[in-house]
Amino acid sequence: MILVTGGAGFIGANFVLDWLAQSDEAVVNLDKLTYAGNLETLASLNGDARHHFVRGDIGDRALVGQLLAQHQPRAVINFAAESHVDRSIHGPGEFIQTNVVGTFNLLEAVRGYWNTLPDDRKAAFRFLHVSTDEVYGTLAPDAPPFTETHPYEPNSPYSASKAASDHLVRAWHHTYGLPVLTTNCSNNYGPYHFPEKLIPLVILNALAGKPLPVYGDGQQVRDWLFVRDHCSAIRRVLEAGRLGETYNVGGWNEKANLDVVQTICTLLDELQPRADGKGYAEQITFVADRPGHDRRYAIDARKLEKELGWKPAETFETGIRKTVQWYLAHPAWVNNVTSGAYRDWVQQQYGA
Ligand code: NAD
Ligand code: DAU
């Protein structure tokens, strides 16, 4: 049994689906179902006894403690977070609450549980914290990619809150001996990505005939990784990572934002051409830049590759094609997300 937090979000849900496709080890999935949590993504697990969903907050120490005592997991994998940089600029409070205070309360609940375990299970237990490359700050165009020893220099309220959570996890290992692992991953993309983030936003806006908003000059660089490759990296680190270590996860796929948007337009021109015969790139619109916008992220993933033998399965070219095809093939999921129907369902089901 493992306990996953944030397992109704983009990466957490992909992780749960991948995990149960490869293993019969059950998953307790604790998720608050914020605007970013979507049970539609997990619909294929309805009635599957290996998946136990609980709506709740990682900051609710009593609830987490009760779940741990009841299910006795051998590992906790923490995906739960506020994750969108633009939202953190408009309203940082929730980011501090969940990413910092929430992680603190989760660590305390886990520490309490871990202390009750017999020695063999105590030694085998793992707390894996899923973090981001954004904690390292921004890179100059010619600087080498981030290694695990790069200083923490977060620039947005989001990345500062994630950096704080990473430090808490580190401290709980050094001070209390909690067996922790941390992964710092680059930008993910793939199925079930909420359309507030660049790639799904561009795909769906293009199909809806809306502008494709590119911030500033569009020359900011991100290092893209297909979400299932992130999931395989987490599984590998959970299996064989050295305690207290951090592992960078990335696919060596640096791209400027404008190139990403143009690639999506070209794929859509091929797979679902516009009715008027024009290219989707006509919809590209340059808009005001994000305040404090980090210019470049790039991940050096050699530690994970060399130490644990992990390799991504997808290149950006194969992954982005699969992603565009997935959005074209799943209009029901897309419609529910864009219409807010899944939020209505949560309201109806949970009354809040
Ligand atoms: P997401 O926003 O899609 O999902 C977050 C999930 O956490 C949602 O289901 C939400 O309901 C849940 N959640 C939020 N607050 C909660 C709380 N207090 N208690 C319980 N559940 C709560 O995010 P994502 O893109 O899937 O990211 C998952 C994790 O991976 C985050 O920690 C993020 O920082 C990290 N990360 C993301 C990326 C990326 O490119 N998306 C890259 C590297 C690391
Ligand atoms: O690097 C990992 C991080 O990647 C994760 O930790 C975050 O949770 C995740 O949201 C992501 O952060 P970014 O800010 O890089 O992702 P986003 O999709 O919001 O933006 C990608 C780039 O595209 C960024 O440079 C901003 C730009 N952008 C974004 C949007 C939404 C645009 O130009 N236009 C847009 O409309």
Atom of ligand 1 nearest to the CA of 134: 43
Residue 203 has pLDDT above 70, yes or no: yes
**Beta carbons within 8 Å of 66's beta carbon, 6+ residues apart:** none
Give the contacts of 137 (CB within 8 A, at least 6 positions apart): 151, 152, 153, 154, 155, 159, 294
Q: Is 85 in the pocket of ligand 2 (CB under 6 A)?
A: yes
Residues 56 and 28: beta-carbon distance below 8 Å: no
Q: Contact, 115 vs 69, CB < 8 A?
A: no
Confidence tier at 349 by pLDDT (50, 70, 90): low
Q: What does the alpha-carbon distance between residue 292 and residue 295 come to, in Å, rounded to a whole number?
A: 9
Residue 344 has pLDDT above 80, yes or no: no
Tokens at 53, concatenated: 């969903």
The number of the ligand nearest the C-alpha atom of 193 reads 1
CA–CA distance, 79 with 130 (Å, rounded to integer): 6
> From the CB of 57, is ligand 1 less than 6 Å away?
yes
Q: In this prediction, what percent of the chain has a pLDDT beyond 90?
A: 96
Q: How far apart are CA 152 and CA 91, in angstroms?
A: 22
Minimal-distance CA residue to ligand 2 atom 35: 198
Measured CA to CA, the distance from residue 201 to residue 189 in angstroms comes to 11
pLDDT of the residue at 162: 99
- 3-state SS record for 110-150: HHHHHHHCCHHHHHHCEEEEEEEHHHHCCCCCCCCCECCCC
- Whether residue 99 has its Cβ less than 6 Å from ligand 1: no
Q: Distance from the CA of 196 to the center of ligand 2, in angstroms? A: 9
- Measured from the Cα of 7, ligand 1's closest atom is 9
Q: Is the CB of 190 under 6 A from ligand 1?
A: no
Q: Which CATH architecture has domain 2-187+227-251+294-313?
A: 3-Layer(aba) Sandwich (3.40)
- Does the active-site annotation cover 133? yes
Report phi then psi at 8, rounded to 5. -110, 5
Q: Verify whether ligand 1 is closer than 6 Å to residue 5 (CB atom).
A: yes
The pairing of strands 75-78 and 51-55 is unpaired
Report the predicted TM-score, pTM, of the whole model to 2 decimal places: 0.98
The domain limits of the chain are 2-187+227-251+294-313
User: Does residue 350 carry a pLDDT above 70?
Assistant: no
Instruction: State which of 3, 5, 10, 194 you would mutate to test the pocket of ligand 1, scoring each by most atoms of that ligand within 8 A of its C-beta.
Output: 10
Query: pLDDT value at position 242?
Result: 98
**Quick one: which H or E segment has residue 167?**
helix 157-176
Nearest Cα to Cα of residue 195 among 316, 330, 298, 297:
330
Best residue for ligand 2 mutational test, from 14, 82, 84, 85 (most atoms within 8 Å of Cβ): 85
Q: What is the pLDDT of residues 97-115, one digit of tens each?
A: 999 999 999 999 999 999 9
Q: Is 189 a catalytic residue?
A: no
Average pLDDT of span 287-302: 98
pLDDT digits over 139-188, tens only?
999 999 999 999 999 999 999 999 999 999 999 999 999 999 999 999 99
Question: What pLDDT score was predicted for residue 351?
Answer: 73
Q: Average pLDDT for residues 181-206, to the nearest whole number?
A: 97
Tell me the best of 136, 188, 198, 262 to mutate to test the pocket of ligand 2, counting ligand atoms within 8 Å of each CB and taking the most.
198
| Mean pLDDT confidence for 128-139 | 98
Give the pLDDT confidence of 206-250 residue by residue, as tens digits: 999 999 999 999 999 999 999 999 999 999 999 999 999 999 999
Query: Percent of the chain having pLDDT more than 70?
Result: 99
The catalytic position among 133, 166, 229, 305 is 133
Instruction: Check if 158 is active-site.
Output: yes
Give the closest residue to 65 by CA, choosing from 105, 14, 17, 12: 105
Q: Are 296 and 245 in contact (CB under 8 A)?
A: no
Question: So what's the pLDDT on residue 295?
Answer: 98
Task: From residue 173, give the alpha-carbon distance in Å to each of 40, 129, 259, 352.
Answer: 36, 12, 41, 36
pLDDT in tens, 16-44: 999 999 999 999 999 999 999 999 999 99
Instruction: Quote the pLDDT of residue 352.
Output: 59
Q: Give φ, ψ of 52 to 5 degrees.
A: -120, 105
> Each residue of 328-342: pLDDT tens digit?
999 999 999 988 877
Spatial distance between the Cα atoms of 207 and 283, rounded to a whole number of angstroms: 10
